[in-house]
Amino acid sequence: MYLASSSLTSACAALTASSSRCLVGRCRAPVLQSHWRTCRSLSNNSATLADKKPVHSPVLAKGPGHTVSRVHVPVLSSMSSSAPDVMSKRMVWVDLEMTGLDLEKDQIIEMACIITDSELNVLAEGPNLIINQPDELLDGMDDWCKEHHGESGLTQAVKDSKISLQQAEYEFLSFVRQHTPPGQCPLAGNSVHADKKFLDKFMAQFMYHLHYRIIDVSTIKELCRRWFPEEYKLAPHKKASHRALDDIQESIRELRFYRANVFRSPAAEQKKCKATRNGHDEGTVHH
């Protein structure tokens, strides 16, 4: 199903003209623009995810692009009805670059997304999009953002971009719907609670597809710094490029390190706990 962005009033098949109620009953979108794209996809059961692939046609982070006039939204029914347990364990890695951290005045300027399985193997690399924002907003960034976004080339790329925030959400929502069941996979990243605040405000439908829990690598980092200081010192160093895709890839590598060097295998932990319950000195337990 392709939805023309110029046909907002006629696109939603589940919206009644008299009451503006959702006949599907599963849409939480507060306004018409977000309502029609959600309801239409939920009410159409004629296609499967295997039949359709998302069209990643907005501007990519590699340079300026063009405006999208049609967006493909995969249908959820075939996935949500029989999603295997292994698919529900996937992680949705997201990183944002913003004009600042003030939720009242700052905006998203870059977003990237990667899907991994529970073993942290990359399954799919999603869009990496730069979102246009007005010059006044860019000029009002604090010194840190001006310096780092300027040096990375992001500020100029934002000016050159033609993609809107709404178009970006279409793309990312399409991508995660293709690879994850609704409401089961958590958002993952470094200090991802900060990204989540902006996503909750500016990409509510994208967030509605994800689980409410998050996997924050920064939390694991801080625990390792306190509980496993020697292993913590060996953690991979980050380049700090402050670009969305680079930051995601570094976060995944970091969590792989903690998993391999800090997290104990279930079998070893079970032996350790059993020995402790029996009153043995943990130091004498051989694995």
CA distance 181 to 148: 36
Instruction: Please give the single-letter amino acid code of residue 143.
Output: D
Choosing from 35, 72, 209, 242, which is the catalytic residue?
242
CA dihedral 207, 209, 211, 212 (to 10 degrees): 40
Q: Residue 152 carries which DSSP code?
A: H
Q: Looking at residue 186, what DSSP letter applies?
A: P
163 token code pair: 């993609």
Q: What is the phi/psi pair of residue 25, to 5°?
A: 85, 15
Q: Is 242 a catalytic residue?
A: yes
Q: Which one, of 37, 20, 13, 32, lies nearest residue 209 by Cα?
A: 37
DSSP 237: P
Q: Write out the two tokens for 59.
A: 């501007």
The number of angstroms, rounded, from the C-alpha of 67 to the middle of its chain's C-alpha atoms is 22
Residues known to be catalytic = 242
